[in-house]
Amino acid sequence: MVKAIGQDKLVRKLKLMPKFAKEEIRAALAKGADEIVLLARSLAPKDSGALARSIGWSWGAAPKGSMVLAKANAGDLSLVVFAGSDEAYYARWLEFGTQKMQAHPYFFVSYRALRKRTKSRISRATTKAARKVAAS
């Protein structure tokens, strides 16, 4: 039987990886969601301000009655970006338009503009966690 030198240390480090990775990925997701929300709020029509105030993100589920933009289902790393509320019930109508009204996109435009940056940030966070575990 062959035993690798330092195998016990490697196994300990690999068991730490999920903890460090989860912390780093959670921070990257939160920063990406903040950026998407800020851009969507800046692009949203500002007639009463209710729509811009209704745009946000949360861990877990979106508030009832809101339109979901991005959803990451990964256990306790589940994040959702949403728009619309009881006060801003017209969020979908503005985003997609109706037969009588032209669309004024603000929501998915923000997501598409920042999707690549957010994915890259999450990849870097995973790599950073792996390096942190390897250094410990």
> What are the structural domain ranges in the chain?
19-135
d(CA 133, CA 10) in angstroms, rounded, equals 10
Give kind and range of the element (H or E) at residue 15: helix 7-43
Give kind and range of the element (H or E) at residue 3: none
The amino acid occupying position 75 is G
The amino acid occupying position 124 is R
**Average pLDDT value over all residues in the chain:** 83
The model's pLDDT over 14-65, given as tens digits with 9 standing for 90+, comes to 666 677 778 888 899 899 999 999 999 999 988 888 999 999 998 888 888 8
What is residue 74's predicted lDDT score, i.e. its pLDDT? 63
**If pLDDT is split at 50, 70 and 90, which confidence band does 1 have?**
very low
Residues 6+ apart with CB under 8 A from 41: 52, 55
